[in-house]
Amino acid sequence: MPILTQIHANKENTMKKILLLIALGLSLYAGISKGDKAVDFDLKSLDQSKSFKQTDFKGEVVLLNLWASWCSGCKEEMPEFFKLQKEYKSGFKIVAVSIDKNADDSQKFLKSLEDEMGYETPFVTIHDGKKMLPKAYGAVAMPSSYLIDKNGVVRLVIVGSLSNKDIQELKQEIDKLK
């Protein structure tokens, strides 16, 4: 091989290596996106009475919502989740994961909402005080929600709070996956 061609080939190889390294580096910062497997967890309910795993919800469409009592956007959308879960008797579950350090703060907020809505919290509530799930999902906003299909694959990543109109669109997605 002529020397000039060899130098050119070496440079190309180096460039490829650099690009690969950058891609690897960037992948370290990336969170869960559409098509990825949902993160498995083993966490307790808000009242610490039950344990839940991601696999417990296999066969059901799940809306995993990351929220906190100190997050105003999270509190705004919560009444919509109460109504949404009431509409689906089976095949769809909302799993609200509170990342409050103190579970009592979340319970106090949900209690006040229950009084306002006139019924008990209709969905699963989980406590993640160590913020394991937002870290694993790479949540870029609070609240963040993930629509997970029956096989545990993330089908939709929702950044920020959902309005009534967004909920209507979400319902279409849920019906498709059910």
Partner 1 sequence: MHYIALIALLLLSGCSDALVRVMPYEKEYFAQDKMSLSPLDERAEQEGHIFLIREASAGGDSSFQGGCGCR
Nearer to partner 1, 70 or 123 (CB): 70
CB 50 within 8 A of CB 44: yes
Among positions 7, 9, 16, 21, the unique one binding partner 1 when judged by CB under 8 A:
21
Q: Which of 144, 147, 154 is nearest to 175 (CA)?
A: 147
Among positions 25, 35, 59, 118, the unique one binding partner 1 when judged by CB under 8 A:
25
Interface stretch with partner 1, choices 21-29, 49-57, 115-123, 167-175 (CB under 8 A): 21-29
Element (H, E) at 77: helix 72-87
Among positions 100, 121, 124, 149, the unique one binding partner 1 when judged by CB under 8 A:
100
Task: State which of positions 44-73 bind partner 1 (CB under 8 A).
Answer: 66, 68, 70-72
Nearer to partner 1, 30 or 118 (CB): 30
Largest CA distance in the chain: 82
Among positions 141, 164, 168, 169, the unique one binding partner 1 when judged by CB under 8 A:
141
Give the separation between CA 44 and CA 41, rounded to whole angstroms: 10
Coarse DSSP helix, strand, coil percentages of the chain, rounded to the nearest 5 percent:
45, 20, 35
**Beta strand 124-127 with 92-98: parallel, antiparallel or unpaired?**
parallel
Among positions 111, 135, 176, 178, the unique one binding partner 1 when judged by CB under 8 A:
135
CB-count burial class (<10 Å; 0-12, 13-18, 19+) for 62: buried
Nearer to partner 1, 158 or 174 (CB): 158
Size of residue set near partner 1 by CB under 8 A: 22
* Interface with partner 1 (CB under 8 A): 14, 17-18, 21-22, 25, 29, 66, 68, 70-72, 99-101, 131, 134-135, 139-142
